[in-house]
Amino acid sequence: MSAKQARGFNLFIAAAVLVLDRVTKWIVAARLSQHDGITVIPHFFRIVHVENPGAAFGLFAESSSHFRLSLLILFSLLALAIVGVLLWRNSHSVSATGAALSLILGGALGNLWDRVIAGHVTDFLEFHVGSYYWPSFNVADSAIVVGALLLVGDILFAKAPAQQKSHVN
């Protein structure tokens, strides 16, 4: 596969994440009032409508700083620039690194879109295990976390170039 095709594939992944994120957030916002929810699996999984003014998983949501939104947008733009450069440099072929960066790019774009347009991010996936509760999140957050885990896995388990060459012979 050529570098151009690999870049196209990576952009397709990022665009698919962005579209899925936008569509799911739109459906939730259109069908549920804020803080309303639908139990999918009792005592385990609910779909809720939460508007999160903070960062991932509600971090900084209670901050009274007037600069919170501006700083979150600035941080998102900086992260997008870094991920974009890394993705461009690693798009010479289809790889786990490219897929991971594409997931992160699509997720970051989805949450940035919300922050710029609405001043908050719509979250809707809520999990409970017994008395433990995981803060609500969305498709974009999921893509970012999966992408980050893929990157970590790729870093930890990547073979050194010398090891790759020895397996070819």
Catalytic residue set: 123, 141
Mapping DSSP onto H, E and C, the string for the chain reads CCHHHHHHHHHHHHHHHHHHHHHHHHHHHHHCCCCCEEEEECCCEEEEEEEECCCHHHCCCCCCCCCHHHHHHHHHHHHHHHHHHHHHHCCCCCCHHHHHHHHHHHHHHHHHHHHHHHCCEEEEEEEEECCEEEEEECHHHHHHHHHHHHHHHHHHHCCCHHHHHHHHC
Dist. CA 120–CA 16, nearest whole Å: 22
Tokens representing 43 are 């005592």
